[in-house]
Chain A
């Protein structure tokens, strides 16, 4: 079995012990069964159990292990180890723009607060039918590329507008979810949802930088969804 040694530079910060954050150099041996960055991190954790990071499903569904990998946000469990050269250290930092709890773990309160502010659930006041609320295949089609979001926060924490105004700007993840319900033909609160977003901060802080599209590990396009929300607002107004 072929093995290789990977070098890491990892952001370390334990507020109980450290005065300020520092970068730790550490290396770990991986073999050919270790395919993803998360596999290497698990081995690192076995070597130095003080390193803290979140992980759960290890297959890109839960969104727990989002982190900044060589300057770019991504999921450790979806990042191929083969893409990293042996010579250069892999630099791991926590997601930018959110308060660090410890090492690679960030406080996502603000992120989820924005997500909840767009009411991420179906609003329909009609009595529920016997079986289900039906949609035509065409109407259902519109939800593709929207409902797949796993809320890993890679997009929102790579967005400069979210860095500057995380308390006021909903952020790409929240706006993608907002459009998911605005576009849903079973939802009856379209107008209220648009009212809720028609605001210089909540929606219009998006300057179409498109970092969100660049980093989304699920290949989604929040910028396009934001464009469609603006489109609907124009259609509503003129």
Chain B
């Protein structure tokens, strides 16, 4: 097999931009929660009351999606930096994506179950 170095996948901008936008959103969400949580009741009741508000549920879901997308770009960067064999890297990419999609679905189910 020819083992020339190949580059030029012509992507990267979207992920780089998305990582920054999701980071900014997560900062805003963290600040919002820092204001809301001290006013909430303790325990399950408190969380349920907080999530009963449609807006809070909406931004919480966006936070989870942001976190997963942000983590996807970050973890993939680590694999790209340090893991050289293509087959191993592809496997790690797939496992990372599957884990993150699974987490997002699970988290969404928790928010709407509260």
Contacts and interface: CB of A to CB of B under 8 A. Distances in A.
B13 interface: yes
Could you tell me the dominant secondary structure of chain A's interface residues?
Answer: loop
A202 B82 CA distance: 15
Nearest to A167: B5
Contacts of B81: 161, 164-165, 205
B7 interface: yes
Interface of A: 161, 164-165, 167-168, 195-196, 198-205, 207, 230, 233-234, 237
Contacts of B15: 200, 204
Contacts of A204: 12-13, 15-16
A200 B5 contact: no
A233 B14 CA distance: 10
Contact of B12 (A161, A164, A165, A199): A199
B10 interface: yes
A222 to B, nearest CB: 17
A205 B16 contact: no
A199 B7 contact: yes
Contacts of B8: 196, 199, 202
5 contacts: A164-B82, A195-B10, A200-B80, A233-B13, A234-B17
Nearest to A203: B12
Closest 6 pairs (CB-CB, A-B): A204-B12, A200-B12, A167-B5, A233-B13, A164-B81, A168-B7
Nearest to A117: B7
